[in-house]
Structures are given as C-alpha cells and as structure tokens.
C-alpha cells in the first residue's frame, strides 16, 4: 500500500470516528420529507444496461440499482452505495430553486460576453461567439450559428463557464441558490465536513472545484455516436474525472418540453421521457476492460490513439458498442435519464458519457470524499504519465497536498482536550496526563502497531 493510499484509508477511519461522535445532519431523510409530494421516479429511470425491452423486466433489473429511491434512502444506505463506487441520483431539486435558471436571466447580464464553446459535430473549439449567440439557438435550432468552413449549423456545447472566475463572485445569488438546493451538503459544500477540499491550506492557491455551468444543445433523433467526426447530437464523450462530482440539470428549453420524448429503441431501450439527457456510467473497476474494447475498435476503424482513449475523450459508446462491451467483456454500466431537477453524483474515476436529448442548462461542481480519495490519488499519478501538454497532465486538484493537510486537521481534532488544571501544569513545564505528552488515542478498532 502506497503512502497516499494509506493516508486515504486513515482519513476514512478518522472521519468515521468523528461521525460516530457527532453524526451529520441526515439530509437525505430531510429531502425525502420535503419532496414527499413528488411522484417516485420510475425504476427505468436507473435501469442497468441490458435490463430488457419491457417495463416489468426493467423494473425487476433495476431493483438493486440506484434511482428515485435515493430520495427515501437513509444516510447509511446512501453511504454504502457511495462507498461501493456507485452513482446516486436525487430528483426534484428544481423545486428547491428560488431563482429561474433559464436563459433569460443570464442573457440580460452576460449576453454580450464572448465565450468559448465546442461544436459537438467535430469537437472543434468555437471562440468567436457570445453567450447571446448560444442562447439564440437554445430553443430555435434554425437560428443556430453556422460553421464558417462547412456552412452547416453547429451543435454547440458551453462548458466550464465561467472559466477564470469563481462562480460565487460572478453570480453570488445563483451560487447561494444552488448551495441551498444541493443535497448532502456535508459533501457538496465547500466547508462540508466530508469534503476533504475544505482542508486545503489557505496560503496556497486552491483548486477550482466549481460550480461551473455546462449548457448544450439537444438532439432527439437516433444517431451513431462512436466516431466524433460523425456525431449528430450534443454530447460529452466517454471520460472520467479526477474528483467526485455532482451534475444538476437546472433548466430545459421550454419550447421542447411539450414535444420532446425519448423513443424506445432510439436511445438503447429508454422509454418515453420528456426533456432529458441520457447518461451511461461504468464502475471504476471496469476501466481496463473498457480500454481493451476502445483499443480494439480503434484498430478496426483505423483511429489513431496517442495516449489513453478515455482521458482523450475520443469516443462515445453507441448501442452496438455497449452491447459488445456487455457480451464480450461482461461489463454492464448504469444507463438512465436525467430530467429537470435531477442531481447525478458521479464517483471519482468512473467512466461516464452524456448525451443531451434536449437543450439544457446544467451546473456541476467537484468535491473530494474520503471514500474516493484513493481513486483521486491513483488518477493524479495516471494523469502525470500523459504526454507533456496534455490537458490533464497538470495536477490541478493537488489531492496529495489536500490529503496531508486533512490528516493534520483530523489528527488535531481527535487529540484529547486538556482540562484547565492540566493546561496549567503544562504551562509550568509538566505535561499532565492527557496533555501534549500523552500519545494520541487511535479510533476504536484501529491497530496500535503492536
């Protein structure tokens, strides 16, 4: 076990000990009570891959998976799933928002701001348009900007906005609105007790963990999205993140809500849903098998791979390739729809991809949970081996520094507090029992090294 893997396990051990003494607020139960009036999310909302073609089969297969029941699961059950590296979905956050998250409010304040976007049809950067250009085509596809080379309308995606400014500084009211609505604040808040990023030293430049906005155009027609050169929908290719993340669908294009539905068969067995995005998430442990598939397909299709096809975000797994992944490599992921108000929690290192079936406004933020800190360290080391100049080669998370300072803070929190009389004895030059001269008592069950 490496130095930082050991530190990660010790962080989990100490956090559990502190939580046993001071249990955090069971926010999941609060959400269940607050949203008791909301209809439960259907089992198909989180159906595993290969669940079958009927609602009954999908419901039966989805029983052990995550989904709408996350609203009603206890803190312990939710924690167990998160520790297993499984994603979690919490719905109806839009009912908690106090502000409108549609395009109009952002247009009034930032419409003239020039932004960097990506054309999902070819993956190229688009840097000459404003936010107003993007939202003009948000609900009216016929007004979307055209590519200067091909004169076809672009399928734009705006990601990581604002890029160089803290979301809280640029839009403080929206930041507060999001923080109030997010579930599990012990993880998602910057000062959350289970967010290890809170311990980053103040004299260092902290990592930018967001929130950031991820807005994209939608495409409801069936398509084959393996090759980014022929992709026809607003999407994010298969990739993995170095930290944990939560992604919230804050708003959908109103003009599409009345007519858009996901047709059975068009998106891999997902039944009719209005206004959504399709997610595929795979276990961290299945990464190697997925890489084997991608390398095999790249050889078959003469696609050049220079480093890691997941980290390079080269591919989107379509229906055919997901079936091949299931049949040949025995790898099944979670496939589900994200609707307005749904928050998707993605564990660090889990390969995932998203396709928008509706134009939408999403907001996402990163955090570092004790359960997945070891994955963050592993990915940091893996990214460091990427070619120089790769967009992931820089250690932006600085998780090792974060872990060392987390251990420092937790150790101090677990040290027994001295009584006033003992403190006076220490000031007189004698370390009283339980004072600074006493050894640190390990958490219950921890090895004492004998």
| Distance of alpha carbon 122 from the chain centroid | 24
pLDDT band at 341 (very low <50, low <70, confident <90, very high): very high
Contact in structure between 414 and 17 (CB atoms under 8 Å): yes
Under the banding of pLDDT at 50, 70 and 90, the label for residue 375 is: very high
Where do the domains of the chain lie? 3-414
Residue 334 has pLDDT above 50, yes or no: yes
- What's the mean pLDDT in 14-41? 43
Q: Hey, which bits of 195-234 come out as E strands? A: 212-216
Residue 15 banded pLDDT, cuts 50, 70, 90: low
Which pLDDT does position 441 carry in this prediction? 45
Distance CA 200, CA 204 (A): 8
pLDDT-derived band of residue 305, with 50, 70 and 90 as boundaries?
confident
Q: What is the mean pLDDT of residues 401-420?
A: 79
State yes or no: pLDDT of 410 exceeds 50: yes
Q: Taking residues 2-23, report their average pLDDT.
A: 58
CA atoms of 307 and 387, how far apart (whole Å): 7
Closest C-alpha among 243, 376, 378, 382 to residue 310: 382
| Cα distance between residue 377 and residue 399, in whole Å | 6
300 in Cβ contact with 226 (< 8 Å): no
Query: Could you tell me which residues come within 8 angstroms of residue 253 by beta carbon, excluding any fewer than 6 positions away?
Result: 138, 139, 218, 275, 358, 359, 360
Beta bridge partners of 216: 157, 360
Q: 286 vs 126, 157, 233, 282, 283, CA distance in Å?
A: 34, 28, 26, 7, 5
Q: Please give the backbone phi and psi of residue 365, each rounded to the nearest 5 degrees, phi first.
A: -145, 155
Interval 283-304 mean pLDDT: 95
Residues in the chain: 450
> Residue 126: its pLDDT value, please?
85
| This prediction's pTM | 0.76
Average pLDDT taken over every residue of the chain: 75
For the chain, what percent of residues have pLDDT higher than 90? 34
The arithmetic mean of pLDDT across residues 204-210, rounded, is 88
Edge to edge, the sheet with strand 88-90 lists 88-90, 343-346, 244-252, 360-367, 212-216, 156-161, 114-119, 124-130
d(CA 27, CA 33): 10
Tally Cβ neighbours within 10 Å of residue 435: 17
Least confident range from 11-20, 51-60, 134-143, 247-256: namely 51-60
Residue 140 above 90 pLDDT? Answer: no
Segment among 196-200, 250-254, 271-275 with least mean pLDDT: 271-275
Phi, psi at 235, each rounded to 5°: -155, 170
Q: Which fold has domain 3-414?
A: Jelly Rolls (2.60.120)
């Amino acid at each position: 076990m490496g130095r930082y893997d050991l530190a990660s396990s010790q962080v989990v051990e100490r956090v559990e000990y502190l939580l046993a003494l001071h249990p955090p607020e069971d926010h999941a139960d609060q959400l269940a009570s607050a949203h008791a009036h909301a209809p439960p999310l259907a089992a198909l909302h989180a159906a595993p891959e290969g669940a079958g073609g009927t609602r009954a089969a999908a419901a039966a297969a989805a029983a052990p998976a995550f989904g709408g029941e996350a609203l009603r699961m206890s803190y312990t059950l939710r924690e167990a799933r998160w520790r297993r590296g499984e994603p979690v979905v919490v719905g109806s956050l839009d009912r908690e928002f106090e502000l409108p998250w549609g395009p109009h409010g952002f247009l009034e304040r930032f419409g003239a701001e020039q932004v960097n976007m990506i054309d999902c049809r070819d993956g190229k950067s688009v840097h000459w348009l404003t936010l107003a250009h993007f939202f003009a085509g948000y609900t009216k596809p016929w007004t979307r900007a055209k590519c200067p080379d091909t004169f076809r309308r672009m399928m734009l995606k705006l990601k990581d906005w604002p890029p160089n400014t803290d979301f809280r500084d640029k839009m403080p009211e929206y930041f507060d609105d999001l923080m109030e609505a997010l579930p599990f604040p012990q993880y998602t808040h910057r000062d959350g007790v289970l967010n290890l990023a809170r311990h980053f030293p103040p004299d260092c430049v902290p990592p930018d963990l967001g929130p950031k906005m991820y807005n994209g155009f939608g495409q409801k027609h069936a398509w084959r999205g393996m090759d980014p050169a022929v992709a026809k929908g607003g999407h994010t290719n298969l990739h993995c993140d170095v930290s944990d993340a939560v992604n919230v669908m804050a708003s959908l294009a109103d003009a599409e809500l009345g007519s858009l539905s996901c047709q059975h068969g068009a998106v891999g067995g997902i039944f009719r849903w209005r206004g959504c995005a399709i997610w595929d998430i795979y276990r961290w442990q299945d990464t190697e098998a997925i890489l084997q598939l991608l390398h095999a397909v790249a050889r078959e299709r003469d696609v050049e791979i220079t480093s890691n096809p997941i980290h390079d975000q080269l591919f989107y797994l379509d229906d055919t390739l997901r079936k091949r992944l299931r049949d040949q490599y025995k790898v099944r992921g979670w496939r589900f729809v994200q609707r307005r108000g749904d928050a998707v929690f993605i564990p660090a290192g889990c390969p995932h991809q998203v396709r928008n079936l509706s134009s939408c406004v999403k907001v996402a933020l990163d955090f570092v949970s004790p359960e997945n800190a070891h994955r963050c360290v592993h990915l940091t080391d893996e990214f460091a081996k990427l070619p120089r100049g790769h967009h992931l080669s820089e250690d932006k998370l600085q998780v090792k520094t974060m872990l060392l300072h987390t251990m420092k803070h937790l150790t101090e929190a677990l040290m027994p507090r001295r009584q006033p009389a003992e403190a006076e004895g220490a000031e007189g030059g004698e370390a009283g029992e339980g004072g600074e001269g006493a050894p640190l008592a390990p958490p219950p069950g921890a090895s004492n090294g004998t």
